[in-house]
Structures are given as C-alpha cells and as structure tokens.
Amino acid sequence: MLSNKTILVTGGTGSFGNTFVPMTLAKYNPKKIIIFSRDEMKQWDMAKKFANDSRLRFFIGDVRDKERLYRALDGVDYVVHAAATKIVPTAEYNPFECVKTNINGAMNLIDACIDKGVKGVVALSTDKASSPINLYGATKLASDKLFVSGNAYAGEHVTRFSVVRYGNVMGSRGSVIPFFMSVKDQGVLPVTDERMTRFMISLEEGVDLVWHAFEDMIGGEIYVKKIPSMKVTDLARVVAPEARQEIIGIRPGEKLHEQMISAEDSYYTYEYPEHFKILPVINGWGETPERIKDGKKVEEGFVYSSDNNTEWMGDAELQAWIDANREKIGSI
C-alpha cells in the first residue's frame, strides 16, 4: 500500500518517527517521506542520520498552523499523526498549549487532509486516552473522537481516518527504561508504587501496528496491539539489580495501571490473533462485515489493562531487549 507513495509524518523527529522512517524506507520503498515538525535542530540531526536520503523531505511547521499544513500536504497520499504535547506534568502546567496542539492540531489536520485528498490517516493515541484522569489523556481522547468522526466529516471525499493506541513504549523519550538507566549509577531508583504495572511495547511493534492499520482500515477503527505487561519493580530490578528501590508515591495525574480498552468500549471491541479493534459507535458503522472481518466480539465488561493482562514479560526477555538496544537508549 505504501510502495511508491508519498507519506507525511507529523512530529516526525520524535522517537516514533526515527523508527518509522528507516523501517518504512526498507520495507515499502515509498516515493517520499515528509518529516513535518517544528524543531529545526532535530530535523538537521535526522537529515544527517539518514545521510540525506533523497526520499526524505523536511518541512518546518506546526499542526497548530493550518495554512502550513495545507502547503505540506500537497501531493501526499498517507499521513501518520505523531505530533503531540505528551509529557503529563507539562500538560498540567500548560493546559492551553496542550489543547492547542492535541485538539486544535487534530482538527487542523483533519480539515487539511480532507481538502487535499489524502487517502488515509493513522493517528497515534495512548493508553491515557482510555478513562483519562489527566489533561494529556483527556486531550488525546478528544483527538481520538475527532479522528473517528472525521470519516463522517469527510462526506464524499476519499480521506479515511483511524487510530492506533499504545501502552508504555520501551526506549522512547521520557519513558521509564532510559530514565532508570540514566540514574542507576546513583544506587537508588525512584519507584512511584510497588504495585504499579505497565504495558511493554517496542517502537518496532508500534510501527507494525501503524502498517497494519493502513492495510486493514475502513475508517473509524481504534487498533490496540496485544502486548505483555510488567511490574515496574521488576523492570527496575532488571535494569539495576544492585540498586535500592525507593518508593516515592504516585505522581499527580498518574495511574497505578495502564488501560487501553475500557468496559464501556467492550460493546464495540473485537479480538484478533495479535490485536483488538474498537469499532466506531456512530452512524451504525461498527456492525459491518468489512470492519469486523474475522474478529470475535469480546465479552461485555471486558477491560484490557496492564494488571489483568494474560501475557507478562519475563526478566530474560527484557534483558535481551535492553542488550539489543543499549546504544539507542544511551543516545536518548
């Protein structure tokens, strides 16, 4: 689907973009990948990293600026929306800025993609959008709703929108593994709560889910990958077995366990071998064979959270991942 096509990635200089770009260049050989972001230094560094590959373009811009999006989307076939204000405390202290990027930016992108005839858009979401308790999660829930309903908003236009939802992305900027590795030599690792659990997904698995969404989507689906969980105390022990763990208490806006599918979502959720799919509830879209395909409806009241998961990551599996990604983690 993506071969010889033009793809634009908003927020493309982030952890996801730096993984999506080389994987997509290698697998699909697209005509062009446009990195749309507002940080010129990150773009400069990324261009050098990819040795000025002729298939890459760099476009300074902000999703808050609709006119700039219109210019950037000329001739674009597919869009991956990764731009977001995502650090929970930053969003709490700068709520207007979070809303401008995560909600207004989503509205701008939806409008621009429809008007420019983009074929498909996949927006990145988060576990925090399921039953949100902080502003970041609330804005991402609103963003998810916007992208789902964007399919109706498109009317007779060709553009289709879907969403992928992740848990804790191992090794991404601001995540717990790089943080623990950066402070482990101090001999103490701060752990918020000894009961805390997190989903564990690699950036590569995240890219695979985006690819799958592009291939599978009719429009309006939210894709949730099946991934293992791990207790944060076990994670800390693998990263720094000699370090003492200091319990510091849950921070404002933080959950004890991550949740990606709520009980309210269960009425519209179908299970597949490697993922779940939450179907859109508006306009009777969900109960259609082309969206359901070979999916099996989950039980009423089903909740997919990191503490009730049936799959758990073992110490050896995490250690193998750390060993394979040590250089990448060290550069974050």
Distant-in-sequence, close-in-space partners of 32: CB < 8 Å, separation ≥ 6: 6, 7, 55, 56, 57
**Residue 89, SS3?**
helix
Distant-in-sequence, close-in-space partners of 130: CB < 8 Å, separation ≥ 6: 137, 141, 165, 259, 260, 261, 262, 265
Sequence length of the chain is 332
If we measure between CA atoms, which residue out of 260, 232, 227 comes closest to residue 132? 260
Q: How crowded is the C-beta side of 300, counted as CA atoms within 13 Å?
A: 0
CB 222 within 8 Å of CB 277: yes
If we measure between CA atoms, which residue out of 301, 304, 308 comes closest to residue 263? 301
DSSP designation for 297: E
Q: Which active-site residues does the annotation give? A: 128
Tokens at 291, concatenated: 């969206």
